[in-house]
Amino acid sequence: MTRTADRLFVVQFGAERVSKNLSLAGGPHHLYWEPLYGVIVETGEGRVLFDTGMSRASHHSAENTAAYRAGGVGASNLDVPWHLYPEPPRTDDWNWGLPGDPLVAGLAQVGLEPSDISLAVISHMHVDHSGGIGTLTAAGVPIAIQRRELEFVQSGAVGIAEGFNALDWTAPGTQWRVIDGDEELAPGVRAVSTPGHTPGHQSLLVDLPESGSWLFAGDAADLAQNFLDHTPCGSCAGGTDEDAQNAAESIDRLLALARERQARLIPGHDQVVVNAVRHPRGGHR
């Protein structure tokens, strides 16, 4: 019998302005504000957090801003106003986050503090997903990460220009829970290996007693269009043919798992979808 979690909350920490061709292989150079969100899952063994958004330091990093700006050069809609909720606080910035520490502010929206989290699961180590590791480390929260992902960033192969910030994986005292492939992390919560976008990318499968299965893709699929068109992500940080093949196979795997479980399939950076699954009072059950 499948164990289930108790309930979940979806919290948006901020957003970033990036080109659709990073999210969708073969997509146009067209800028979207893509949400940065996390998922809080309550289980009989504590609360599990999936992804943390971007740190305040990365939001204000000149190098990080330069990388965003470089990615936007030549976009067809550079000066077109954003038309979805939430509206970015400033139209001349490339990312925004909740005031103060975005992770702390996001958790506070559902009455929680970092110390209320039992385990944090990081889909991958890009700055827009891993920025809360330092905050969680200070609160004594262990961090679940795929072995291939941790080894990839610790190798020194990538940096700010590629969307990675070493501050996110060098916080003193971080308790790493290293995963090799799929693993049950708590009742109703399972890590699903979906490499390609990065070498050790992972998604999250959550089973709830009333609403059934939820499959959070992370950046294995940024947009609903990835699933609708059966198209992998447009960016593979490893840069090899194997990474591109893995990305295509990860889309296949997510679609097959969603069909098998009749799961709610949630992409990693789609504002329309995130708005649609905003949790009701008391969370999704």
Whole-number pLDDT of residue 111:
98
- Both tokens of 163, joined, read 């969307």
Q: Tens digit of pLDDT per residue, the chain (285 long)? A: 579 999 999 999 999 999 999 999 999 999 999 999 999 999 999 999 999 999 999 998 999 999 999 999 999 898 899 999 999 998 889 999 999 999 999 999 999 999 999 999 999 999 999 999 999 999 999 999 999 999 999 999 999 989 999 999 998 999 999 999 999 999 999 999 999 999 999 999 999 999 999 999 999 999 999 999 999 999 999 999 999 999 999 999 999 999 999 999 999 999 999 999 999 999 999
Buried b vs exposed e over 250-264: b needs ≥16 C-beta within 10 Å?
A: bbebbbebbeebebb
What CA–CA distances, in Å, run from 63 to 21, 53, 177, 267? 21, 18, 30, 27
CA 13 to chain centre: 11
User: Strand 264-266 to strand 95-97: parallel, antiparallel, or no bridges (unpaired)?
Assistant: unpaired
Query: Reduced to 3 states, what is the DSSP secondary structure of residue 157?
Result: coil
Whole-number pLDDT of residue 1:
57
- Both tokens of 206, joined, read 């959550």
CA nearest neighbour of 274 among 69, 63, 75, 9:
9
CA nearest neighbour of 118 among 37, 186, 190:
186
What is the Cβ-side half-sphere exposure of residue 7, based on CA atoms within 13 angstroms? 10
pTM of the model: 0.97
Whole-number pLDDT of residue 91:
83
